A and B are shown apart, each in its own frame.
Chain A
Amino acid sequence: EVQLVQSGAEVKKPGESLKISCKGSGYTFTRFWIAWVRQMPGKGLEWMGIIYPGDSDTRYTPSFQGQVTFSADKSINTAYLHWSSLKASDTAIYYCARLPAAAGTDLDPWGQGTQVTVSS
């Protein structure tokens, strides 16, 4: 079974750093892109960008460029989303999802989501 399992919920203070993870199983991790999607409280889905674990090629949606960093460790089939300095506005659910081709939109499957809460 193709599956993405994300790390658990996090509660952080503004200015702290954070890295959340997304572990793939049931397929060749290095041959598919991983997309990251944000859902802020009460809002819709926003596409943050993608990373190709095979060579760590990354593409960020402009509004997220410089705000977050994607990385991947192909030896353990895991992708990461990293913040160096969190803001209250980063409070959201973050999903990872598998994407067959960079120019596509067929995200399948999705991880279960990671709730990130940033509050002083």
Chain B
Amino acid sequence: QSALTQPRSVSGSPGQSVTLSCTGTGSDVGSYNHVSWYRHHPGKAPKLMIYDVSQRPSGVPDRFSGSKSANTASLTISGLQAEDEADYYCCSYAGSYSWVFGGGTTLTVL
């Protein structure tokens, strides 16, 4: 199973919106709504931000939203804040008890 494709880096200014993409195939992102997004500050535990394409866990601000179209999932962060600077990983179920992460996107808040 190949890793999902994410842009290596994205940047935005405080208060702006950014959208991170995650491209898979018809065998993973395109076939299942079990797509999640994680925020990872290096040296800390990753944090679940979105699951099942667009669901927010309790405690995650509504600045974070998720969507999917065909084989590509997206994470939109509005009202960028300094604390949003981190690595972001998408993850998809790929059937038959297999799962795949994206390569990760480093978000820089300018």
Q: Give me the interface of A with B, judged by CB distance under 8 Å.
A: 35, 37, 44-47, 50, 59, 61-62, 95, 97, 102-113
Contacts and interface: CB of A to CB of B under 8 A. Distances in A.
B64 interface: no
Contacts of A112: 44-45
Main secondary structure of the interface of B (DSSP, over half): strand
Contact of B104 (A37, A45, A62, A111): A45
A75 to B, nearest CB: 26
B3 A95 contact: no
Nearest to B102: A44
B93 A108 contact: no
Contact of A45 (B34, B35, B57, B101): B101
A104 B98 contact: no
A110 B47 contact: yes
A95 B46 contact: yes
Contact of A47 (B40, B48, B100, B103): B100
Main secondary structure of the interface of A (DSSP, over half): loop
Interface of B: 1, 3, 32, 34-36, 38, 40, 44-48, 51-52, 57, 87, 89, 91-93, 97-104
Nearest to B55: A106
A21 to B, nearest CB: 16
A47 B99 contact: yes
A95 B46 CA distance: 9
Given A44-B102, A45-B38, A45-B89, A109 B97 contact: no
B104 A44 contact: yes
